[in-house]
Amino acid sequence: MIPYPQMSSEEREAEYQHLLAQFEDLKAQNLKLNMARGKPGEDQLNLTRGIFDIMRSPEDYLSDGIEVRNYGEMTGLPAAKRLFAEVLGCREDQVFVGGNASLQLMYDTVAKGYTHGLLHSSRPWCKEEKLKWLCPAPGYDRHFKITESFGFELITVPMTDNGPDMDMVENAVKDPAVKGMWTVPKYSNPDGIVYSEETIRCIASLKPAAPDFLLMWDNAYCIHDLEDGCETLPDILTLCASYGNPDMVFEFASTSKITLPGAGISCFACSEDNMTYMKKLLDAQVISYDKVNQQRHVLYLKDKAHMIELMRKHAEILRPKFQCVLDALNQEIAPLNIASWRHPKGGYFVSLNAMPGTAKRTLVLCKEAGVTMTNAGATFPYGKDPQDSNIRIAPSFPSVNELKKAVSVLCVCLKLSALEKLNKQ
């Protein structure tokens, strides 16, 4: 197959007509497929069926002598803190265990900066004239939406193979209006990039002008490897402290993609001083989170070794799905020189960069053929991809058979939109 950019206009026209016929066939199949959100499939949900009947005897309601059904232990069950501390490589007393969603804890941390100020704020952020936030992109749309909703100006930081462009970050944090940064250090959403040790050190040793700069370290995919023997990142709390920044970072994690999204448990981890400060604020907000669910998770997951075992089962289900997407792209798209993509070793996404100016059009065509994808642009601040190129593929939810269909639709749509673009040039 000749790469599209090298084809003559006659060859392109012939190819376009051939693809249009394929596209009409696909449309006639009335497909209804979804590769939009990074949701575990049903077979993954079924892996943890046992969690629902794990609490049977009266002693199951006691954890370290604490009655889990009653009020109290606002910061979470010690056993649940131990579990997260082991996974994250931090200390138990640095962990606060919350409810079913780490995103809620993230929102709440930003909200507390806004309404009350953080530990080192001279005033609440709402009293500042200008607020800015660093957003490595492509990134997670829900992160961007949180800081956008509080009126931060979102500053796009390009992603490199090693994580956010640190030259730009180091420069940007000289501005005291820059109050924080989103990060997903392992298997970043959507690129699947693992930040290099050098990048992580560079982040931990930042010297921001804002004394209350908040590093949001979203370790959502900390043990979500697709293969054995993947890297473990250094503990960011220790690292920040070693560079004199103990209070700069809040780390987040959850069991959403270990046990059940929507019914898992979440945590943040931070310095002792931050914990004391947050406890005071949270005390006005909540008596205790759902400790029954925390206990269910402690009994079911036991320890990191058991969690890794469970993650292997998730990986066995996910691997063929990722492979299915990558195989189709390698076969159908690679020879045409119209897109590039990464081969992630974990996480939930394949990030594809289509020919600039074609992502939106590709997804409109996908929709016409019954395949829903994450909106083009969603991976950038304000939902606007300046290149109109990035497409986030979420292979986890459909079955492999559905996925095969969905990816073949995507490939046809990528080709059609690339030819349309080339023909206009």
By three-state DSSP, how is residue 392 classified?
strand
Could you tell me the smallest distance in angstroms from the CB atom of residue 240 to ligand PMP? 20
**Cβ closer to ligand PMP: 226 or 416?**
226
For residue 400, give the nearest of 328, 342, 347, 305 by alpha carbon.
328
Could you tell me the smallest distance in angstroms from the CB atom of residue 122 to ligand PMP? 30
Helices (H), 89-218: 102-115, 141-149, 166-172, 197-204
**Cβ closer to ligand PMP: 143 or 291?**
143
Does residue 219 contact residue 88 with C-beta atoms inside 8 Å? yes
Could you tell me the smallest distance in angstroms from the CB atom of residue 187 to ligand PMP? 9
Q: CA 308 to CA 314: how far, in whole Å?
A: 10
Does residue 348 contact residue 10 with C-beta atoms inside 8 Å? no
**Cβ closer to ligand PMP: 81 or 421?**
81
Residues engaged in binding ligand PMP (CB under 6 A): 38, 101-103, 140, 184, 189, 218, 220, 254, 256, 261, 266
Q: Is 238 exposed, middle or buried (0-12, 13-18, 19+ CB in 10 A)?
A: middle
**Cβ closer to ligand PMP: 78 or 346?**
346
Q: Strand 350-354's sheet: what is its strand order? A: 339-341, 350-354, 390-393
User: Taken in order 308, 313, 318, 319, is the CA torsion positive or negative?
Assistant: positive
Specify which residues 133 forms β-bridges with. 154, 180
Name the closest residue to ligand PMP (Cβ): 254
**Cβ closer to ligand PMP: 4 or 84?**
84
Could you tell me the smallest distance in angstroms from the CB atom of residue 38 to ligand PMP? 5
Strand-pair category, 339-341 with 350-354: antiparallel
Could you tell me the smallest distance in angstroms from the CB atom of residue 392 to ligand PMP? 10
Could you tell me the smallest distance in angstroms from the CB atom of residue 34 to ligand PMP? 15
Could you tell me the smallest distance in angstroms from the CB atom of residue 207 to ligand PMP? 26
**Cβ closer to ligand PMP: 255 or 358?**
255
**Cβ closer to ligand PMP: 256 or 362?**
256
**Cβ closer to ligand PMP: 253 or 418?**
253
Q: CA 371 to CA 401: how far, in whole Å?
A: 14
Token duo for residue 58: 């009266």
Phi and psi at residue 141, in whole multiples of 5°? -60, -35
Q: CA 214 to CA 201: how far, in whole Å?
A: 16
For residue 233, give the nearest of 303, 183, 176, 185 by alpha carbon.
185
By three-state DSSP, how is residue 276 classified?
helix
Could you tell me the smallest distance in angstroms from the CB atom of residue 424 to ligand PMP? 35
